[in-house]
């Protein structure tokens, strides 16, 4: 898969993290989200992140899953992680501070019972990054996991560091 994964161990680690997210690592507690927060987090329909959300929901509809709702706290976690990856020129599910996706989602104030994360870089458009994720079994599994109810998407930098955070609240 072109620029999505350059080394096999990164791909294997990402798939392992995605698999952990899909089964729902229930260890941390976070604040619940509200509909008004989700509405406040909704990016403009022309933004790259809004286009990713629309493409995610299109794929989910084909698979018989309900559409994900944008959540401000998940968006904050995803955007902060994309920025962190861009600043450090490193794509990883581990933040520069050693954090994992669940810790970052918790830090953003979200109370989850299950989460998943997809990351990528080098894809210049929402369609290209979604194509990459949909051709990766672990990433596709996160996108099509019908138990997830909410999403946050972030993108940062000229190399386009992308993050999708999926979750289901407690």
| Domain harbouring 90, CATH code | 3.40.33.10
What per-residue confidence (pLDDT) applies to 35? 30
In a domain? residue 6? no
What per-residue confidence (pLDDT) applies to 42? 55
Distance in angstroms (rounded) separating the CA atoms of residues 5 and 11: 6
In a domain? residue 13? no
Domain of residue 150: give its range.
Answer: 54-169
In a domain? residue 11? no
How many domains is the chain partitioned into structurally?
1
What per-residue confidence (pLDDT) applies to 45? 77
What per-residue confidence (pLDDT) applies to 44? 72
How do 112-121 and 150-156 pair as beta strands? unpaired
Please state, as a whole number, how many other Cβ atoms lie within 10 Å of the Cβ of residue 73.
28
C-alpha torsion 56→121→84→15, nearest 10: 70
What per-residue confidence (pLDDT) applies to 28? 26
Distance in angstroms (rounded) separating the CA atoms of residues 115 and 105: 9
Sole residue written with tokens 């229930």 = 26
How do 69-70 and 150-156 pair as beta strands? parallel
What per-residue confidence (pLDDT) applies to 37? 40
What per-residue confidence (pLDDT) applies to 114? 98
In a domain? residue 119? yes
Per-block mean pLDDT, blocks of 10 residues, the chain (170 long):
39 39 32 33 79 99 99 99 98 98 99 99 98 99 99 96 98
- Answer for the pair 154, 78: CB distance below 8 angstroms, yes or no: yes
């Amino acid at each position: 898969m072109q620029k999505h994964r350059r080394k096999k161990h990164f791909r294997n680690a990402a798939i392992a993290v995605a698999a952990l997210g899909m089964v729902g690592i229930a260890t941390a507690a976070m604040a619940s989200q509200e509909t008004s927060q989700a509405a406040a987090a909704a990016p403009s329909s022309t933004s790259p992140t809004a286009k990713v959300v629309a493409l995610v929901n299109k794929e989910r509809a084909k698979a018989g899953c309900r559409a994900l709702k944008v959540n401000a706290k998940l968006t904050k976690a995803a955007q902060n992680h994309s920025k962190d990856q861009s600043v450090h020129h490193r794509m990883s599910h581990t933040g520069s501070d050693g954090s994992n996706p669940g810790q970052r989602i918790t830090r953003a104030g979200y109370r989850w019972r299950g989460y998943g994360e997809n990351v990528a870089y080098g894809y210049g458009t929402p369609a290209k990054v979604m194509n990459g994720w949909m051709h990766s079994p672990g990433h596709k599994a996160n996108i099509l996991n019908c138990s997830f109810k909410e999403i946050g998407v972030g993108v940062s930098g000229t190399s386009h560091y992308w993050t999708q955070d999926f979750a289901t609240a407690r």
